[in-house]
Amino acid sequence: MIRLAVLSQTTSPLPAALERELAGIDGILHAGGLGPVRHLERLARIAPLVAVVGARDFLCYSGRYPELCELQLGGARVLITHLIGSPPRLLEPVRRRLENDPPDLLVHGQPAAPQIVWVGRSLIVCPGRASVGQAGPDGAGGSYALVEIDGPGALRARIRALDPPPRPRPIGWRWGLAGAAARLHGAAALLDGSRVGPDAES
């Protein structure tokens, strides 16, 4: 059996505990939304990395990574690309491919909502957004997919959460009010021409 981490959307900061979370995996499949080179280098230090470009990656990576990648992993046929439609409603070229020459595993990154679904003989996996800065207004962390392959047709996948971004420490309401009052007092003093502070005239 081989264990793969499937990621997408690494354009914002990655979780600090990424290495611990992905320890022991056999490879990383990146479905586009690549982000800075340093993020890809960090992933490649964890496990062998296979990546494809997304719509916004062409300027930086079009000569380095393909739009589509097909490979054999653990005896299974794997197809990686960025955009396929919204499963089970697929773009026409993707639908024809699944009908005529289906892979065992199809990995994509857009739309970015995490999803695991079987379409015919193919397991389709979208890992969601790995970057914690893109996780949404609720403060939830990013996600990735863990895929286990025992051979053709013998695949399992699940979505796993990554660490959420740290929340900013709230300012106590009393200190916040005191600071606001001090700023208002200073502004009022400037407007009426008076001076404030230890050197103010009596």
User: Averaged over 174-199, what is the pLDDT?
Assistant: 49
Selection from 5-14, 56-65, 129-138, 165-174 with the highest mean pLDDT: 5-14
pLDDT computed for residue 100 by the predictor: 95
Q: What digits encode the pLDDT tens for the residues 71-116?
A: 999 999 999 999 998 888 899 999 999 999 999 999 999 888 899 9
Mean pLDDT score across all residues of the chain: 82
pLDDT computed for residue 197 by the predictor: 45
Q: What digits encode the pLDDT tens for the residues 146-155?
A: 999 998 889 9
Tokens linked to 29: 């499949």
CB 106 within 8 A of CB 155: no
User: Averaged over 136-162, what is the pLDDT?
Assistant: 83
pLDDT computed for residue 101 by the predictor: 95
pLDDT computed for residue 14 by the predictor: 85
- What band does 175 get if pLDDT is binned at 50, 70 and 90? very low
- What band does 138 get if pLDDT is binned at 50, 70 and 90? very low
Q: What digits encode the pLDDT tens for the residues 16-40?
A: 888 899 999 999 999 999 999 999 9
| 152 Cβ contact partners less than 8 Å away, ≥ 6 residues apart | 75, 76, 77, 104
Q: Is pLDDT of 200 > 50?
A: no
User: What backbone torsions phi and psi does residue 90 show, to the nearest 5 degrees?
Assistant: -110, 155
pLDDT computed for residue 183 by the predictor: 53
pLDDT computed for residue 112 by the predictor: 81
- What band does 202 get if pLDDT is binned at 50, 70 and 90? very low
pLDDT computed for residue 96 by the predictor: 93
Q: Is pLDDT of 199 > 90?
A: no
Separation between Cα atoms, residue 64 and residue 11, nearest integer Å: 17
